[in-house]
Each structure stands twice: as C-alpha cells, then as structure tokens.
Amino acid sequence: MAVSDIAGAEDAAAAIRAAGGKAAGFVCDVTDEAAVLRCAADIKARLGPIDGLVNNAGAYPLAPIEQTDAAFLERLFRLNVFGSFHCIRAVVPDMKARRRGKIVNVASATFHAPPPMLSAYVATKGAVIGMTRSLARELGEYDINVNVIAPGLTETPGVAEAPFGDEMWAGVLAAQCFKRREQPADLVGTVVFLCSPASDFVTAQTINCDGGMGVH
Ligand SMILES: NC(=O)c1ccc[n+]([C@@H]2O[C@H](COP(=O)([O-])OP(=O)(O)OC[C@H]3O[C@@H](n4cnc5c(N)ncnc54)[C@H](O)[C@@H]3O)[C@@H](O)[C@H]2O)c1
C-alpha cells in the first residue's frame, strides 16, 4: 500500500508495517498537479500499477459567509476538489489500460446534514459527490468503480485541532443511531469494501458511514 501525504506519510506507513501490513510512504501535495503526477509515477515504479485510489486529503475550516471570500474558496476547492481531480487523472490512464480500478472519494455526511459555518466545505463535498457520479458513468465501460464514502464527525487529529466543542459533539450524538463518537477505525471496513472485489458491481454511490446520522 502507498500512503501519500503532504506530511507524515512515512510515519503512517511505519505504523501499518508495525501492525503487520505492507506500506510505503510518499510525500505529495495534492494541490500541485505536477507533484501528483510525479508521485504516481514514483509509486508505480516502486510498488507496481495503482489499482485503488482513496482521495482523503481535505480540510474543513469553519467560516461565516462574510469570511468566505474568493481567496478562501479557492484555497479550499484547490485542496478538497482539485486535489481529487489531480489524483484521479494521475491513475486513470493505467486503470483504463488494465481495465480495473477502484476510486474512493471521501466526502462528508455534512452534505446530507449540513451544519452552519461550513458552506464552503459542504460545497466542496457536493462537488466531490457530483464529480463521482459523472465519472462513474464515464469509466464504467472500463470496469473502473468510482464511489464516495461520507463519514460523520470523526475523532481525527484534524477534528481535535478544530474548534468543534462539546456542543457540536452532543448534537451529532443526538442525531446518530449509535451513541458514541465515530473513530477513524469505523471507516476502514467501508473503504476496504469499496476497494475490494466485494464491491465490483457498486459504482456512482455515496455510502454514509456516520453511525446512522443521515438516512438516504
Ligand atoms: N474528521 C471528520 O469528522 C470528517 C468528517 C467527514 C469527512 N471528513 C473528511 O475526511 C478527510 C480526512 O479528514 P481528517 O479529519 O482525517 O483530517 P486531518 O486534518 O486529521 O487529516 C487530513 C490529512 O490530509 C493531509 N493533507 C492536507 N493538505 C494536504 C495536501 N495539500 N496534500 C496532501 N495531503 C494533505 C494532512 O497532512 C492530513 O494528514 C477529509 O477529506 C475530510 O473532509 C472528515
């Protein structure tokens, strides 16, 4: 498995190896299309063709509409939307040639249950869901699956740093069927399913993995 991140990828890969898995870390800024292409070529040279891609890099800054100016929007779309396009464009030629591939885009349960102060963020995740649906139609004839996982509020390092107080958590727990905070490990099964042959006939879908907060 290749773990790619702007920082800390090797630490994540080492943790996977320590748990018995196979992983290598790669440094890449997904907002830089040339760097993404270089990284994909590097991964292919070291590990072989890329059969599965999980577009996870993203940010969720809170901002009222007064602060959601063009510069803010551009920064966020470059990471949450352009980044996914760059990574997909880097892997699709090989996937098409090999007639196999699994692409998993990470959106958010906030698209279905939007909180305030996140209009730009929710817009980026709507873009990811829309792009997924069209791309699944485009790539289906090459047997490439394109799906979305939509996590609920999850206790990640980014959330620990964000100004999401106990009040936000209380609202989320009240809305979820399961009355505990979602953990990163809760997302693993759905991502593995979407990357495995078990999901070969599943494409263009958005799967909520949010403890039953959203229903659709
Ligand atoms: N945590 C949540 O509650 C939650 C809920 C729904 C969706 N999501 C989505 O899940 C994804 C991961 O979120 P998280 O909570 O783990 O965030 P996080 O901040 O903990 O981790 C984000 C990761 O992305 C990396 N990253 C940031 N900018 C990058 C760039 N330009 N190039 C490459 N890597 C970059 C960071 O280094 C970090 O490792 C995001 O797309 C987020 O929108 C998170």
pTM over 0.85: yes
User: Same domain for 72 and 171?
Assistant: yes
Distance between CA 177 and CA 199 in Å, rounded?
Answer: 25
- Domain residue limits at 109: 51-209
User: Same domain for 29 and 128?
Assistant: no
156 CA to middle of ligand 1, Å? 8
Ligand 1 atom closest to 12 (CA)? 39
pLDDT-based confidence at 215, cuts 50/70/90? confident
The number of beta carbons lying within 10 Å of the beta carbon of residue 156 is 14
- Tally of structural domains, the chain: 2
| Angle 138-140-142 from CA coordinates, rounded to 5° | 100
User: Same domain for 126 and 191?
Assistant: yes
Distance between CA 126 and CA 193 in Å, rounded?
Answer: 22
User: Same domain for 82 and 181?
Assistant: yes
* Beta-carbon contacts of residue 123 (< 8 Å; ≥ 6 apart): 73
204 lines ligand 1 (CB under 6 A): no
Instruction: Name the residue type at position 1.
Output: M
Q: What residues are paired with 148 via a beta bridge?
A: 105, 206
The residue assigned the tokens 């072989």 is: 48
Judged by average pLDDT, the poorest of 72-86, 159-173, 186-200 is 159-173
Distance between CA 211 and CA 194 in Å, rounded?
Answer: 18
CA quadruple 189, 194, 200, 204: dihedral, nearest 10: 140
5 lines ligand 1 (CB under 6 A): yes
pLDDT in tens, 124-146: 999 999 999 999 999 999 999 99
> In this structure, what token pair is assigned to residue 33?
């299309």
User: Same domain for 195 and 100?
Assistant: yes
pLDDT in tens, 13-63: 999 999 999 999 999 999 999 999 999 999 999 999 999 999 999 999 999
Catalytic residue among 26, 60, 111, 121: 121
User: Same domain for 125 and 160?
Assistant: yes
> Is residue 121 annotated as part of the catalytic site, yes or no?
yes
Identify the pLDDT of residue 74: 98
| Of 29, 159, 181, 188, best ligand 1 pocket probe by most atoms within 8 Å of the beta carbon | 159
> Is residue 55 within 8 Å of residue 125, measured between CB atoms?
no
Identify the pLDDT of residue 174: 97
User: Same domain for 107 and 38?
Assistant: no
160 lines ligand 1 (CB under 6 A): no
User: Same domain for 74 and 27?
Assistant: no
Q: What is the CATH number of the domain that holds 181?
A: 3.40.50.720
Ligand 1 atom closest to 182 (CA)? 3
Identify the pLDDT of residue 155: 97
